[in-house]
Amino acid sequence: MKRVITYGTFDLFHLGHLRIIQRAKALGSFLVVAVSTDEFNQTKAKKCVYPYHERAAIVAAIRDVDLVIPEENWEQKVRDIQQHKIDILVMGDDWEGRFDYLKDYCKVIYLPRTPQISSTIIKSDIKSNNY
């Protein structure tokens, strides 16, 4: 059984989120999704529309997701990979190279992002009434 993990905030869940989850699951048979907590997002100067428990519940409801865990800090990835016996880490290509140090623990794959969709774009469009 190949075990895959991916990380994200997953605010204002959209097609890009769904696609990365589906593509990550296609690489293995068990998918762990780490959802950034509100406290961790504050350290990244990110403000979410939905609180952690709601974002985690939405992600957990997706059939391709086998387990949701909280992402509480940058340093936990090695522990997560070891604890959950992960074979593949999947991230969007906007993080290209950032997690290469984890190649000592598992395979690292950067997938292309879905073009022209992100929570940041959605928030910007709502603020400018472009929806």
Domains of the chain, by residue range, sit at 3-127
Give the model's pLDDT for residue 120.
65
Active site residue ranges: 44, 46
Give the model's pLDDT for residue 65.
98
Q: What is the CATH number of domain 3-127?
A: 3.40.50.620
Q: Tokens 């190279």, residue?
A: 97
Q: Is 112 helix (H, G, I), strand (E, B) or coil?
A: coil
Give the model's pLDDT for residue 23.
97
CB-based contacts of 73-76 (< 8 A; 24+ apart in sequence): 73/40, 73/43, 76/34
Residues of the chain with pLDDT under 70: 115, 117-127, 130-131
Give the model's pLDDT for residue 46.
85
Cα distance between residue 131 and residue 124, in whole Å:
10
Structure-derived torsion over alpha carbons of residues 38, 45, 101, 109, reported in degrees to the nearest 10? 70
